Amino acid sequence: MGGADEICFMTARELAARIRRRELSAREVMEAHLAQIARVNPLVNAIVSQVPEEEALALADAADAALARGDEVGPLHGLPIAHKDLEETKGLRTTFGSPIYRDYIPERDTLLVERLKRAGALTIGKTNVPEFGAGSQTFNPVFGPTRNPYDLSKTCGGSSGGAAVALACGMLPIADGSDTGGSLRNPGNFNNVVGFRPSAGRVPTWPAAMGWSTLGVKGPLARTVGDVALLLSAMAGPDPRSPIALPEPGSVFARPLERDFRGVRVAWSRDLGGLPVDPRVTAVLESQRHVFADLGCVVEEATPDLRDADEIFHVLRALHFAVRHAEHLERHRDLLKDTVIWNTEAGLKLSALDVGRAEVKRTLLYHRVRAFMEEYEFLICPVNQVPPFPVEQPYPTEINGVPMESYIAWMKSAYYITVTGLPAISVPCGFTPEGLPVGVQIVGRYRDDFGVLQLANAFEQATQVWRRRPPVVA
């Protein structure tokens, strides 16, 4: 049952259910995806460091054999996956998009990869990233750029760019990613898929250089909100290797997402308090605003006071760069891109007091946002301030005539939300007149990751944007 194309664009939930019921074999599913990758990946360059075909098929056969034996299997059993190339994978090359690690083969899986494998997902390769994940544009000197499947001349965003494109093109049913300044949300937004930045600690991170840091998080990407929830159910839950892991088990995300939103107060923020936003983005969001009202939400224009978000993000991000790259800078300066050098040097110039004061400001911001979110259960805003831009352009240098002061300045609508610590999702919202995808960012209350999934699911059910327009290359 089901041709290759049907298999490759089936939801992960459906695919997993059919495999479990043995209506589809894991091998059929694997073959369909490998064929799709062979056909489409050369055009977009989303998947890199692929597992040899015979190994991938052997994994699928083993998955089928487990079902034939009646073994108990995990929620992702038999689903092909490729891991973000920032995620270490045992025996499988992990480059971080850097020529320094061009030939690096890790000896262990990260906790995330370990969990996904245990849940039954079958690792078939790695997805492309910007060099060290820096910047929301997926290009690097090891693999080159990943292209937007809706327009090959445009960027797919990043840093989970390869992941989002692989999903959009039916090369994978699920993919993992990570998000510091928007890296799960931005590529969701640019490629008509769903990217979810959960609360810090929701998906425990190990290894983590600074175990208590809440800036960067891991999270799921998929074509639908339901699939994102399925994937999160396998990713989430406590692990002693992360001191900040949240205690709820991942299974809480396997509950039905349906909910009545009548009377729920929603803040609608067109520009998060004065950020320049490309009118094509605004037009798409405004055209779908009625959907939230149709769901019964009370939608009001309101924006939390995000004062200092920019400084907080710059300082804490630069600290991470200094920790991660001080040694790279010393030993391999010639192998680092300018923006990584700039960001690392910015970190090396900071004092401890700069960091402390950023933490103080982050705390004050937290309290302002917390008060705001007592009034509103959700905040809706743009994911990004621009639609996908030319793939040759490392980053937008201006928006609506406003010059961007750094390579990440165009990401404010995403990283302001990072700094609040709220969970936030990008869900497909529509298309620009040129046919480029635009997502909407739904932000929920502290630790209410499930609520975000519920509202995103209701929006998706009402709009079905993800089904509306296939990529030009898929």
- Measured from the CB of residue 352, what is the shortest distance to a copy of itself in angstroms? 4
Strand pairing of 194-197 and 217-222? antiparallel
The amino acid at residue 443 is V
Judge whether 155 and 113 are in contact, CB under 8 Å.
no
- For position 1 contacting a copy of itself by CB under 8 A, the verdict is no
From 84, 117, 337, 412, active-site residue = 84
Identify the residue among 17, 62, 68, 209 touching a copy of itself (CB under 8 A).
Answer: 209
From 25, 49, 136, 159, active-site residue = 159
Identify the residue among 152, 208, 252, 335 touching a copy of itself (CB under 8 A).
Answer: 208
Q: What is the DSSP string of 135-153?
A: SSS---TTT-PPEETTEEE
- Nearest-angstrom CA–CA distance, 176 and 199: 15
Judged by CB under 8 A, the chain residues 131 through 190 that form the site for a copy of itself are none
- Nearest-angstrom CA–CA distance, 457 and 450: 10
User: Judged by CB under 8 A, how many residues of this single chain contact a copy of itself?
Assistant: 38
154: annotated active-site residue: no
Identify the residue among 42, 103, 353, 401 touching a copy of itself (CB under 8 A).
Answer: 353
CA neighbor of 116 nearest in space, from 245, 213, 16: 16
- Measured from the CB of residue 295, what is the shortest distance to a copy of itself in angstroms? 26
Judged by CB under 8 A, the chain residues 304 through 343 that form the site for a copy of itself are 315, 318-320, 322-323, 326
Identify the residue among 213, 282, 406, 461 touching a copy of itself (CB under 8 A).
Answer: 213
- For position 214 contacting a copy of itself by CB under 8 A, the verdict is yes
Which residues lie closer than 8 Å to 86 by C-beta, 6 or more apart?
Answer: 94, 96, 97, 129, 132, 133, 159, 178
What is Dmax (Cα atoms) for the chain? 63
159: annotated active-site residue: yes
Question: What tokens appear for 56 in the block?
Answer: 């991938």
CA neighbor of 426 nearest in space, from 466, 474, 382, 374: 382
- Measured from the CB of residue 439, what is the shortest distance to a copy of itself in angstroms? 27
From 183, 199, 233, 242, active-site residue = 183
Options 16-24, 63-71, 182-190, 355-363: segment touching a copy of itself (CB under 8 A): 355-363
- Nearest-angstrom CA–CA distance, 378 and 299: 10
CA neighbor of 320 nearest in space, from 241, 419, 210: 210
- Measured from the CB of residue 131, what is the shortest distance to a copy of itself in angstroms? 20
Q: Which is nearer to a copy of itself, 68 or 371 (CB)?
A: 371
Taking phi over 0 as left and psi of -120 to 50 as alpha, with beta for the rest, 198 belongs to beta
- Nearest-angstrom CA–CA distance, 427 and 440: 6
- Nearest-angstrom CA–CA distance, 329 and 336: 7
- Nearest-angstrom CA–CA distance, 98 and 105: 13
Judged by CB under 8 A, the chain residues 240 through 259 that form the site for a copy of itself are 240-241, 243-244, 247
Judged by CB under 8 A, the chain residues 360 through 419 that form the site for a copy of itself are 360, 362-363, 366-367, 370
- For position 472 contacting a copy of itself by CB under 8 A, the verdict is no
Q: Which is nearer to a copy of itself, 79 or 306 (CB)?
A: 306
361: annotated active-site residue: no
Options 93-101, 353-361, 407-415, 463-471: segment touching a copy of itself (CB under 8 A): 353-361
Chain-centroid distance, C-alpha 125: 17
- Measured from the CB of residue 85, what is the shortest distance to a copy of itself in angstroms? 23
146-155 core/surface letters (b: 16 or more CB in 10 A; e: else): bbbbbbeebb
Task: Just list the catalytic residues.
Answer: 84, 159, 183
* Residues near a copy of itself (CB under 8 A): 208-214, 240-241, 243-244, 247, 315, 318-320, 322-323, 326, 347-348, 350-357, 359-360, 362-363, 366-367, 370, 421, 446
